[in-house]
Amino acid sequence: MEEPRESHVLILPFPAHGHIKPMLCLAKLLAAAGLRVTFLNTHHNHRRILPRSPSSSPSSLLRFESISDGLPDDHPRSLELIEELLLSIKTAMKAHLREFLLSKSAEPPVTCIIADGIMSIGIDVAEELSISAISFRTFSACCLWTNFCIPTLMHEGKLPFSDDDLDKEFHGLPGAEGLLRRRDLPSICRSQIESCSFRYFLDETFAMTRACALILNTFDALEAPMVSHLATIFSNVYTIGPLHALAIQSSVGHFSGRSESVGSLRIEDRSCMMWLDSQASRSVVYVSFGSLVKITVDQLMEFWHGLVNCGRPFLWVLREDAIAGEEEESARSLLSELKLTSERRCVVDWAPQEEVLAHPAVGGFLTHSGWNSTLESIAAGIPMICWPQLGDRQINSWCVSEVWKIGLDMKDTCDRSTVETMVRILTEDNKEEIMRSMTRISGLSSDSVGPDGSSSKNLERLIENIRMIDRTS
C-alpha cells in the first residue's frame, strides 16, 4: 500500500507588505503545527524580508524561496505603476511559478497551494498540476462580499455611479443596509469599469471560487453576517484572525527577542519606543498611513498643523517615499525638518506597529484603515480615526465608525481643522462611548484567539483538512 505523501504547503502572497505580513503569520502557524511550508516571495521582496525572517521561524519546516515577478530589478513597483505589475504577474510570474513547482526546489512535492485572493495564478497552476488550492483573502469579509456583489449592482444600474454625488445613500448591498454612502464602498467602485485594474480585481475575486476553501483574516464575532454570505459561495470558510494575535498567542510571533515585526519589508526605527516610554498614559496619537499611500505636501501640512493644534503628543510614521509629486531632494529636506524629535512629537520612517499600539502611552490611532492596521488596533483596544485612500479601506472605515462604533471616519478630507476636531472627539468628547465599544470588540478579538476561541478552532480545522488532502490524494 502506497504511503501517504508528506504535507507540503506552498504559500503565495501578492507582492506587497500588507499581503505578505498576514500570510507569513499563517506560514509560521502551519509550520509550528508540524506542516512543511514553503513561503514563496518575489525576488524583489525576498531580498528585503530574508535577513530578518529565518531567525524568527518556528522550526526548520518553514522555508523561504523566491521567483521572479517578471519585472526588471530597477522597476519601482509603485502604486502608480500597479498595472505593469498586475500584467507581469499574470504572464511572466505565472510561468516562473509553474517552473518552480516542477523543479527540485519544490521537494518534497507541494500538496497544497494557499494563494493570495488576488493571485489566481496559484489556482491556475495548481489545477494544471493537480494540486489542491486554497484562497486566502487578506482583507475584510465585508469588502470581499461587496466585490462579489459588484456584477449584480452593475446589472441593477447602481454601478458605475450616475453622478458625482458620493454622499448619496447607497442601497442594495445585502448585509450592509443603513448608513452606507457611495463614498463608503471599496475604491474599485469609483473606478472606470473599462480600466485594466477594475477588470483584474473583479476577475480575481471570482477566480477564488475555483479554490477548495477560503481563508479570512477576521473573526466570527466581528463579521458574522458577511461571513455567512460568503459561506453561500464557498463550501469551506476558515476565519482565523486576527492572525497576528493568534501568532502571539501561539508563541510564534511574540515581541520579545525579535528585531523586526513578522513580515516587515522595512527597517523599523525602535527609538520611538523609548520616546513613548517618556509619555503619559493614553496621551499619544499614533499616525500611520501604511506602506503604500502617498500624500501631497499640502495634505502633509494640514495633518501636521491639525496634530500640533490639538495639543496632544503624537508619533507619526512618515516614510521617505511618502510625499507625492515632489522632487526627491526637496522632499528629503522637508522630511528631515519634520523628523526632529521633541517632547511633544516623534516622527520616524517606520515603526514596530504592533508594539506601538500595545504601549500604554498610546490612546488613539490615525490610520489609513488597512485591514492589518484595523485588526491590530482592535486587538490592542485603541480607537481609530480613519483616513482611507484605496482598496478595501473605504468600507473598513465605514465598519469602524458606523457598524462597530470603535472610531471616527474622516474619509475624503484632511484639512487641519477637521484633523484637530477629530482628535479631540476621539480623545476627549466621545472618549468614553467609543472606548466602551472598543473594549467589547477587543475582548471578543481576544476570546477568538484563545485556546477555545473560534479562530483557534478554525485554524485547527484548517490544519486537519490540509492533512486530509494528503491522505486522500
Please pick, among 8, 17, 19, 96, the residue that the annotation labels catalytic: 19
Mean pLDDT of the region 59-69? 90
Q: Grade residue 4 by pLDDT with cuts at 50, 70 and 90.
A: low
Same domain, 220 and 342: no
Q: Is 19 a catalytic residue?
A: yes
Instruction: Tell me what pLDDT residue 440 has.
Output: 98
Q: Are 171 and 177 in contact (CB under 8 A)?
A: yes
Phi/psi region, residue 36 (left: phi>0; alpha: psi -120 to 50; beta: rest), is: beta
Please pick, among 116, 124, 220, 392, the residue that the annotation labels catalytic: 116
Residue 264 lies in a domain: no
**To the nearest 10°, the Cα dihedral for 250, 253, 256, 257?**
120
Give CA separation, 117 vs 13, 109, 147, 328, in Å.
Answer: 9, 23, 12, 35
Same domain, 418 and 455: no
Query: Based on the structure, what is the number of domains in the chain?
Result: 2
Residue 431 lies in a domain: yes
Grid cell, residue 402, equals 458606523
pLDDT at 387 over 70: yes
Q: Which structural domain range is residue 123 located in?
A: 8-138+211-255+449-472
Q: Grade residue 3 by pLDDT with cuts at 50, 70 and 90.
A: low
Same domain, 465 and 330: no
Q: Is 69 a catalytic residue?
A: no
Cα–Cα distance measured from residue 161 to residue 158, given in angstroms and rounded to the nearest whole number: 6
Q: Grade residue 258 by pLDDT with cuts at 50, 70 and 90.
A: very low
Residue 343 lies in a domain: yes
Residue 174 lies in a domain: no
Q: Where are the alpha helices (DSSP H) in 89-195?
A: 94-101, 121-128, 141-155
Same domain, 393 and 316: yes
Give CA separation, 91 vs 5, 68, 96, 99, 125, in Å.
Answer: 31, 11, 9, 13, 12
Same domain, 230 and 241: yes
Residue 459 lies in a domain: yes
Cα–Cα distance measured from residue 437 to residue 434, given in angstroms and rounded to the nearest whole number: 5
Percent of the chain's residues with pLDDT above 90: 75
Considering the chain, what is the average pLDDT of its residues?
90
Residue 153 lies in a domain: no
